Amino acid sequence: MERIGVWLIGARGALASTAIVGARAISHGLARPGGLVTELPEVAALRLVGLDRMVFGGWDIGSAKLLHRARAMAVDDRAVPAGLVAALEDDLLAVDNHIKPGFVDGGGRGAARDGKKREPLEAAVARLGDDLEQFRLEQRLRRVIVVNVASTEPPCARVPEHDTLDGVRRLIQGDRRAAVTPSMLYAYAALERGCPYVNFTPSTGATPAGVQELGWKHALPFYGNDGKTGETLMKSVLAPLFRMRNLEVLSWAGFNILGGGDGENLSNPRQRESKLRSKSGVLSPTLGYAPHASVSIDYVPSLGHWKTAWDHIHFAGFLGTKMSVQFIWQGCDAILAAPLALDLVRLTDFAHERGERGPMTQLACFFKDPMGVSVHSFTDQFRLLLDYVDEHVSRERHGRRR
């Protein structure tokens, strides 16, 4: 039975460890696949890789073991059942053996910490690529799909070299660290070694045209950015409602509080800027105008991996009468995101198996800031996925009849 590799960047984080626990638990028959979009009957019509055929590995820069992280998710956050983590101890220890040191020094400031010698970008690309190759060969994998679930980086200022593959190569060869963030370097290493790539974070990843050119060159599918799991998901469902009822949104104020590693990381203003940018793209294109809008993100350590979003929407109806809607979203971040990461792996595997290349726009509904797609309504984005499924299902039916 052929297996595929799932190589997680940030493999010991909350999202990664929940995805690994979930995939292994479902494979062993210890949990049900609720929350996986690919288990919906209309999407499951595609013949997708089983979760039991996924072999996990990845990179991280933290030293805490995966098992330790999973236990913390169970005990401290009550995000996953403790019994499940206990039953999966051997699986988690085995995955830990496939987690390799990541690349930490990237964009400008913060480089060369602790007086340690910096790894040149070119050497890092070769090392990271070798990790992927070794994993694929040793585990006899059909392919390795790389998914970025590492901490959000600060935005990276665009330079002209980002626009072409030659330019990106020159940045790497010239060790131009301020213009090459770790997420870009990982995306480059993945695509260079023939691995499809997905960016679940708002970090730069494969956004530069020069990095995407590498994906096209090697006939690979890739996609991102930033998984859509909570407040922005609600926005992409509700904003079309106001538009379709011709109700004018006067203001939309969103307040988010969260803890955990993501919350702590986003308490840094530069990292928070990346997240706020990817969250801000839904309203104006959906409504056709720009209402007063604000989004804030605050770190509240005691919340752990639970996030609360409170949104206040002020709108005007017939005769200009003003009204409001408020919603409170309380979710466990990793539990919302982990099944989507697994969905993305399955759908990316499917696309690569069929020789599809370039941005996988059919996956727009999974992202806050989907590459190359101008529709922001969740329903319209989901329709893109269903159209893709229909097309493949009918193609396979016709193929079989011939």
Ligand X SMILES: NC(=O)c1ccc[n+]([C@@H]2O[C@H](COP(=O)([O-])OP(=O)(O)OC[C@H]3O[C@@H](n4cnc5c(N)ncnc54)[C@H](O)[C@@H]3O)[C@@H](O)[C@H]2O)c1
Q: Are 136 and 146 in contact (CB under 8 A)?
A: no
Count the residues of the shown chain that bind ligand X, applying the rule CB under 6 A.
31
- From candidates 38, 151, 207, 377, binder to ligand X by CB under 6 A: 151
| Side chain identity, residue 46 | L
- By CB under 6 A, what part of segment 152-211 binds ligand X? 152, 182, 200-201
Regarding 9 and contact with ligand X (CB under 6 A), the answer is: yes
Between helix 89-96 and helix 66-75 the angle, nearest 10°, is 140
- By CB under 6 A, what part of segment 332-371 binds ligand X? 333-334, 336-337
Min dist CB 335 to ligand X, Å, is 8
The strand pairing partners of 147, in sequence order, are 8, 198
* DSSP for residue 21: H
How many residues are recorded in the chain? 402
Min dist CB 45 to ligand X, Å, is 27
Q: Are 301 and 263 in contact (CB under 8 A)?
A: yes
- By CB under 6 A, what part of segment 84-103 binds ligand X? 102-103
Min dist CB 357 to ligand X, Å, is 25
Stretch touching ligand X by CB under 6 A, among 60-68, 80-88, 119-127, 235-243: 60-68
DSSP for 384-402 reads HHHHHHHHHHHHHHHHHH-
304: left (phi over 0), alpha (psi -120 to 50) or beta: left
Stretch touching ligand X by CB under 6 A, among 114-122, 210-218, 331-339, 386-394: 331-339
For β-strands 248-258 and 221-223, DSSP reports them as: unpaired
If the CB atoms of residues 147 and 389 are measured against ligand X, the closer one turns out to be: 147
- By CB under 6 A, what part of segment 209-268 binds ligand X? 226-227, 229, 260-262, 265
Stretch touching ligand X by CB under 6 A, among 13-21, 204-212, 249-257, 376-384: 13-21
Min dist CB 365 to ligand X, Å, is 14
**Cα four-point dihedral sign 58, 60, 66, 71:** negative
Min dist CB 138 to ligand X, Å, is 21
Q: Are 252 and 396 in contact (CB under 8 A)?
A: no
- From candidates 45, 61, 94, 393, binder to ligand X by CB under 6 A: 61
Min dist CB 341 to ligand X, Å, is 9
Neighbours of 256 (CB within 10 A): 23
If the CB atoms of residues 36 and 389 are measured against ligand X, the closer one turns out to be: 36
Min dist CB 190 to ligand X, Å, is 13
User: For residue 149, which of 95, 224, 199 has the smallest C-alpha distance?
Assistant: 199
Regarding 300 and contact with ligand X (CB under 6 A), the answer is: no
In terms of C-beta density within 10 A (0-12 exposed, 13-18 middle, 19 or more buried), how is residue 170 classed?
Answer: middle
Min dist CB 175 to ligand X, Å, is 17
CA–CA dist 180, 107 (Å, integer):
6
H or E, element range at 141: strand 141-148
**Cα four-point dihedral sign 230, 233, 239, 244:** negative
- From candidates 5, 6, 7, 14, binder to ligand X by CB under 6 A: 14
Regarding 15 and contact with ligand X (CB under 6 A), the answer is: yes
If the CB atoms of residues 64 and 219 are measured against ligand X, the closer one turns out to be: 64
Q: Are 347 and 360 in contact (CB under 8 A)?
A: yes
Q: Are 103 and 59 in contact (CB under 8 A)?
A: yes
Min dist CB 73 to ligand X, Å, is 9
Min dist CB 154 to ligand X, Å, is 12
Residues that bind ligand X in the complex, under the rule CB under 6 A = 9-10, 12-15, 59-62, 102-104, 149-152, 182, 200-201, 226-227, 229, 260-262, 265, 333-334, 336-337
